[in-house]
Chain A
Amino acid sequence: MHKLLKISWLNVKNSVYSKESLLGIIALFSYSMLWVFLVHPAQYRLEGYDFEFGRFLYVIILYAAVCIIRNDIRFNTIKTIFTGVFTRTEIMISKGIGLIIWGVIFSVIVEINNILVSCILYKKIGISGFLAFDHLQLFITYIVITFCMGSLMVFIVAVMFSEKKSVLFIIGILSMVNFYTAAIPILVGNRPEIAKNFSIYMKTPFYNTVLLMQGKFNIKSVSINIAWAVLFFILSVFIINKREIK
């Protein structure tokens, strides 16, 4: 287990050190600062800025998850990895642990953004606003979202098993789903009677991810997302185990 953790950490570290990762973080904070300096809606508190940051971060989460396997296909390191001492299942478990590590990193990035926003908007939010924020819920939220949506992306890459950029198109679609369905949890929250119209959608990871990102933390959404994550992950492990590495 210790070895797997080390491999997972090294794997994440390799992605963190990449040029794409650096560009992603710069873009992420630039987007956040656009909201702080240019848009700054009057009704927005820290939660509002946190949600906007999370919407952009969602794209980065999907991309980071894709990179966890796609980079090995792209850089042809997959053959070396799959001929090492670890079984394919163990390698995939290390990738899963990698997703959780990414979740921790993302929650730290969100907190850095929250500190920045609180300091820049010190009159409106300030340190007291930052301290009033539920940091544990944020921490759990980003780990669960990264694990769930990351597992979905790992599953998609396992099925496609290609370095082709078409997977980036899927990231685009999922990001749009996240963006355009953000209103549904608010609608359901305001008018509970329409919940039955969305009953199936409410069981998907997409709905529950948006809900968690909006700060509506609840154990049911966390459990649904974890259940989906486990399902996607088991399927990915099964597919990878059956694959021929060409």
Chain B
Amino acid sequence: MSTDLKAPGAGVSLRRARPRYGERVVEFLLFLAAVLSVVTTVGILIAILEPTIEFFAEPAVNAWEFFTGTEWTVLFSEAQREFGMPTLLSATITTTVVALAVAIPLGLGAAIYLAEFASPRARKLLKPVLEVLAGIPTVVYGFFALTFITPSILQGFTDVGTFNMLAAGLVMGVMIIPTIASLSEDAMTAVPQALRDGAYGLGSTRRQVAVKVVFPAAISGIIAAIVLGVSRAVGETMIVAIAAGNAAHFGFNPLEPGQTMTGFIAQAASGDQPTGSIGYESLFAIAAVLFALTLIFNFFAIRLVRRFREEYE
């Protein structure tokens, strides 16, 4: 009697009816698409390392000179060649410092304004406008620095030449404002409202809440934003290639022209160096230094971003 009464669905196996090979194949193809990023990374490493190793194997090159020398004349004739990478590094540091001097105060100021002071409507309008700055092609920035910032603005104040690191750095700073502003604003809006309310209840003004509560609470995200900004400034190519000139010399005076690591890569590559020549190999050696630098910065920034996300979620 009761054996005739079956619960509905009983006896129907919930296991899949038949193996679905098609699904497995598609899943594997999707996996391959994801693995392409690993292939790209390995590709970058191989592309950079092989010529770099050959570069250091050249009899004319010694590693000590490469890391300490202050002359870089690789594209000169054979007798005059010097391989001091710090020459290019000094220009990279100079333009990056100028850019950060612009982008850190302006970017953080804008971020605090957007996160703590702007009305929701104003934020919705102003934030995208600010982010347009990140969408302008860098070649446009470079051209603007060369044909407007230097002759129409800088030369009114100081005695700078057509090419100088100051104009390149200033424009680069404006370019990375959105990077810093946007990420720091995210970090600040992630700070729980309860922290603000507590401070307001104790009689703090908006300024005090912003400076003494929200800013410290968001500091790891803000540092991550700045580190990413540094990484962008170090890797930026077109602005410095156009506006800073291509005379490589060691020095940190932003009023002078200078050639950064990226600027050298662009100049050497446009010169169509034959494969295996020392000029061609030096390009990759500089790229190796650049890649290592930005990788360290990015790794650091990504870890910081993860940390502040975990804290409040």
To the question of whether A and B form a pair in one complex, the answer is no
Residues in chain A within 8 A of chain B (CB atoms): none
